[in-house]
Amino acid sequence: MLILGIETSCDETAAAVVRDGQFVLSNVIASQINVHMEYGGVVPEIASRKHIENIGRAVDAALREADTRKHQIDAIAVTNGPGLVGALLVGLSYAKAFSFALNKPLIGVNHIEGHICANLLGNSPISPPFICLVVSGGHTHLLCVLDNWKMEVLGRTRDDAAGEAYDKTARALGLPYPGGPSIELLAKEGNPCAIMFPRALSDDRGFSFSGLKSAVLNYLNKQRMAGAAFSKADVAASFQKAVVDVLTDKALSACLALNINTLALAGGVSSNSALRESMRLACEKNNIALFAPPPVFCTDNAAMIASCGYFRWKQGKISSLDLNANPDIGDFNGM
Ligand code: KG4
Ligand code: ZN
């Protein structure tokens, strides 16, 4: 079963060919980072226009790299939400046209479920039950994926997503967009224990990152107003440590409380090496198997969408050609 995946929910125009939901034959990502960098964040209108420019080439490249012809594709899986509506519509319209012209099934995929499915790619795919921490630019969710692939949301952020906290903190430090990789790089030169930023560790499984962002801003303002010297690298490292501590603590607590010994990471922030190392150590200590997709499958890509589409197809969940973009779909269907 060959699925063409298409992903255009934010600032990456991505296309991939995946066999049987697991084996990646191609994974093409046309990044717009350089364009949006100038503005310090994603400009939705520009993102849509760039997707229109890139989508045809990205799909052609994905087919070429997979050594696959259009008519050999069995189905098209496409992200239909959540995301930027104008950006989503480009991928969705392209996928519908492809589906109609070649008479192949169309499968709408929830972007967050797609991120989770990055753990199904490769030779040793994850199997439920497991706890999954989804940490991206727009979402921070702690989920329990049950035996029947039903997904139960254990907690979510009340304010900023983890990636958003990275992006906003990076901007305050004058670092380029996207903030995650910039902070990760600078943090390597800093002392993570230099500044004790707050950790929002409430008893429930929800998250909150806006207090941490404010604490960083307050610290920077205070230092600047007092004319005191400070190390940006120490701020980056201390901020990152606060995020990583909270994410590790909450994910591990959920595994232990629910007696589930498999933990999966997903979403752009899970490409962060400090987070991966902290999770690795905590899981090792508690005898929990950790799944963390290779970094290229953590950030937005179409292979994860094709993988998710495969499981939807197996369940007969085919979409009709009137499928619309839904920027706010936050609910998870389970697979
Ligand atoms: O999953 P993703 O590519 O797109 C969304 O669905 O949002 O995640 C993008 C987010 C951005 O906020 C970016 O700063 C963050 O993931 N990110 C990282 C790293 N790479 C990307 N955060 C921390 N460390 C990284 N290495
Ligand atoms: Zn994403």
Nearest to 91 by CA among 62, 134, 122: 62
Residue 19 reports pLDDT greater than 70: yes
pLDDT at 200: 82
* pLDDT (average), residues 210-224: 96
Does residue 81 contact residue 51 with C-beta atoms inside 8 Å? no
> Strands 75-81, 130-135: parallel, antiparallel or unpaired by DSSP?
unpaired
pLDDT at 110: 95
Neighbouring residues of 316: CB distance < 8 A, sequence distance ≥ 6 = none
pTM, rounded to two decimals: 0.96
Centre of ligand 2 to C-alpha 222, Å, is: 34
Residue 202 reports pLDDT greater than 80: no
Pocket test for ligand 1, best of 275, 299, 308 (most atoms within 8 A of CB): 299
Ligand of minimum distance to the alpha carbon of 185: 1
pLDDT, tens only, 246-289: 999 999 999 999 999 999 999 999 999 999 999 999 999 999 99
pLDDT at 209: 95
DSSP 168: H
pLDDT, tens only, 277-325: 999 999 999 999 999 999 999 999 999 999 999 999 999 999 999 999 9
Q: What does the radius of gyration of the chain's CA atoms come to, in whole angstroms? A: 20
Rounded-to-integer distance, Cα 250 and Cα 267, Å: 16
Instruction: Find out whether the peptide bond into 82 is cis, omega within 30 degrees of 0.
Output: yes
Ligand of minimum distance to the alpha carbon of 161: 1
Nearest-CA residue for ligand 1 atom 22 is: 180
Rounded-to-integer distance, Cα 111 and Cα 80, Å: 7
Residue 205 reports pLDDT greater than 90: no
Rounded-to-integer distance, Cα 165 and Cα 209, Å: 6
Q: Band of the pLDDT at 229, cuts 50, 70, 90?
A: very high
* pLDDT (average), residues 160-172: 96
Please give the C-alpha separations between residue 206 and each of 169, 247, 306, 331, in angstroms, as whole numbers: 21, 10, 30, 16
Centre of ligand 2 to C-alpha 160, Å, is: 15
Neighbouring residues of 23: CB distance < 8 A, sequence distance ≥ 6 = 121
Centre of ligand 2 to C-alpha 229, Å, is: 37
Token pair 């696959």: residue: 68
**Which residues form the pocket of ligand 1, taking CB atoms under 6 Å from any ligand atom?**
10, 136-138, 163, 166-167, 178-181, 184, 267-269, 271-272, 299-300
**Which helix or strand (DSSP H or E) is residue 330 part of?**
none
Helix, strand, or coil (residue 291)? strand
pLDDT, tens only, 110-150: 999 999 999 999 999 999 999 999 999 999 999 999 998 88
Domains defined along the chain, listed by start? 2-117+297-314 (3.30.420.40), 126-292 (3.30.420.40)
* pLDDT (average), residues 156-167: 95
How many Å from the N-terminal Cα to the C-terminal Cα in the chain? Answer: 17
Residue 95 reports pLDDT greater than 70: yes
pLDDT at 329: 82
Residue 334 reports pLDDT greater than 70: no
Q: For the chain, give the mean pLDDT.
A: 95
* pLDDT (average), residues 149-158: 92
Centre of ligand 2 to C-alpha 252, Å, is: 23
Centre of ligand 2 to C-alpha 116, Å, is: 10
Pocket test for ligand 1, best of 79, 113, 115, 136 (most atoms within 8 A of CB): 136
Rounded-to-integer distance, Cα 129 and Cα 132, Å: 10
Question: What is the distance of C-alpha 93 from the center of its chain?
Answer: 22
Nearest-CA residue for ligand 1 atom 3 is: 299
Q: In this structure, what token pair is assigned to residue 239? A: 């901020």
Is pLDDT larger for residue 68 or for residue 201?
Answer: 68
Amino acid at 17: V
Ligand of minimum distance to the alpha carbon of 274: 1
* pLDDT (average), residues 235-242: 98
Pocket test for ligand 1, best of 119, 175, 269 (most atoms within 8 A of CB): 269
Q: In this structure, what token pair is assigned to residue 135? A: 């940490």
pLDDT at 331: 67
Q: Band of the pLDDT at 40, cuts 50, 70, 90?
A: confident
pLDDT at 333: 63
